[in-house]
Amino acid sequence: MEHSGTVSPKRASYCVVHKFAMASRSKSAARGRKRKADPEVNGEEATAVESKKEKEEEEDGKEEGGRRIVIEHWRHAEGVRGALEAAHPDLKVQLNPQKPRRNSFEVTLLDGGKDVCLWTGIKKGPPPEQLRRGRFVYVGIEVLLSWILEINFIMAADGPEKAGEEGAGGAGTSASSGVRFELEKETELRFEVESGEKVQLELLSGLAEVFGSELNRNKKYTFGPGSKIAVFTWQGCTVCLTGKTEVAYVSRDTPMLLYLNTHAALEQMRQQAERDNERGPRVMVVGPTDVGKSTVCRLLLSYAVRLGRRPTLVELDVGQSGVSVPGTVSALCIERPADVEEGFSVQAPLVYHFGSTTPGTNIKLYNKLTSCLAEVFSQRCEVNRKASVGGCVINTCGWVKGSGYQALVHCASAFEVDVVLVLDQERLYNELKRDLPHFVKVVLLPKSGGVVERSKACRRDTRDEKIREYFYGFRGVSFYPHAFDVRFSDVRIYKIGAPSIPDSCLPLGMSQDDTQLKLVPVTPGRDLTHHVLSVSCADDEGEGGAGGRRGVLESPVCGFIVVTAVDTQAQVMTVLSPAPRPLPRHTLLIMDIRFIDLK
């Protein structure tokens, strides 16, 4: 974002409009009673003068070949013309170039052969009576501001400075229901939704896609607050945006062609695997935070599914999981392209409990769960030929230094990956080429220019929203969770990993690694309130000893609950659960993540 010491066009326009409003009020107050017309003035001469003035304005409008504003019959048209001319001196503003229609109220931006209607009241009639009285000037300011901002946007999209890298072929024009964008081939419309707002996207003509998922024509897609969307077209299209966006622009500087070539290379590997009766490619996407790893994974998976493949998504990002709640690692078989609004269908994922939003809290457990996922995926490939040929796409976390880098190398070894895609970091690319076997193809890809860095607060809000979706549903689909009491004696709560202690204090023969995988019983108390608990699929019998510990660690989870209240006297706790009582299992694993239910 660029900062400047000058006043922004929006603020300057508001100042101009504010002066116009105050001038209108002061003139009205000083005018007083209307004076009667001078009886000596010839009525025919007055008519001739008015007709001559209209004729001159009409001729001026014909001579003007550039952009111009035409205002048809508005009480404050003179003041509006002054405000618009002050905001855009290069625009010519015409008042009633032709005889105005009855009850007309219309403002139009003319640009060569294009007519953009900024406001029309032809079918609505004149402004309401309450606007024509004392509050009309205030409402007029807000309406006029929207026109000036819209003119700014249209001129910026059509201006000569936009003929280069961004904005080429993407003029935004106002439609009756939103802003229309004409996209040339291989260009991308990027927009972000403001906080607390919703934006609707509609494909009017042509073909377009959002992160590899095709858009249906004349269908409206709704995106919630904070959404960051990129609409790409290979042949050209026309789309319409309705709602308040934080930013919306068109860019032709996009790495989509490189991503498509990557998909084509992976598809050739799948075809070779079919012919030779071998397994398909296993791809790992790596890179620092906020470079678009999840987006690249979604693109490659959607493109593969559209060709009839059945790839598997392996989600190792415990902080921003796209499959389950935060604090977990998971795998999901992809059978259809991602939904434009909701993403991939997550009806039957394989989910393991980790318990934190960063791998650094327990790197030993993180590597252990990575090995578990790799083992289960290999077993599935042995019995399912389509899954074996489809391969997998592994999404990793953004920790790429120290223990985080070693975790990436361990993941590549556990899954026996064939291809590693490195996004936007040459150092990581060279380190992986040095440390991975020579038969592993390491490819460096650029990140998209539309990738936005997220703050810690934004990441925290995203995690809360993911947990809220688990209990209450996603937008149009509503779930109704259950709240009930659970007795302390009916469940066993554990935390994986004991606090780190010096080696000198450890028992003889025990190492620090053993404590990271230890099951520590947790006594329910008030400090348990608002914590997220995983319901383990491990058998309730045989939890003691090393075998029981291994069973809990290596067992997936069947769901999650949130503790909303704890009564230590009654020895019960109130939980929020997606299913009614009783709980399917009695072994619960506590997370470091808290969720406060405000709904």
| Whole-angstrom distance, CA of residue 181 vs CA of residue 201 | 11
Using H for helix, E for strand and C for coil, what is the string for 426-451? HHHHHHHHHHCCCCCEEEEECCCCCC
Q: Buried b vs exposed e over 120-155: b needs ≥16 C-beta within 10 Å?
A: ebeeeeebeeeeeeeebbeebeeebbebbebbbbbb
CB contact set of 195 (below 8 Å; sequence gap of 6+): 225, 226
CA-nearest of 340, 335, 334, 330 to 372 is: 330
Across 498-586, where does the E strand assignment appear? 519-521, 531-536, 557-567, 572-577
**Exposed, middle or buried: residue 524 (CB in 10 Å: 0-12, 13-18, 19+)?**
buried
The first and second tokens of residue 38, run together, are 């001078």
Residue positions in the annotated binding site for ATP?
A: 188, 228, 290-295
What 3-state DSSP class applies to 281? coil
Annotated binding site: 188, 228, 290-295
Give the Å distances, CA to CA, from 592 to 353, 404, 529: 11, 20, 12
Whole-angstrom Cα distance, residue 442 to residue 429?
A: 7
Alpha-carbon torsion 54, 60, 65, 69, what sign? negative
Q: Say how many C-beta atoms besides its own lie within 10 A of residue 419's C-beta.
A: 19
For residue 246, what are the contacts with CB-CB under 8 A and spacing of at least 6? 191, 192, 193, 194
Long-range own/partner contacts, residues 60-68 (CB < 8 A, 24 or more apart)? 60/92, 60/94, 61/92, 61/94, 61/97, 64/92, 65/112, 66/90, 66/92, 66/111, 66/112, 67/91, 67/92, 67/109, 67/110, 67/111, 67/155, 68/92, 68/93, 68/94, 68/109, 68/110
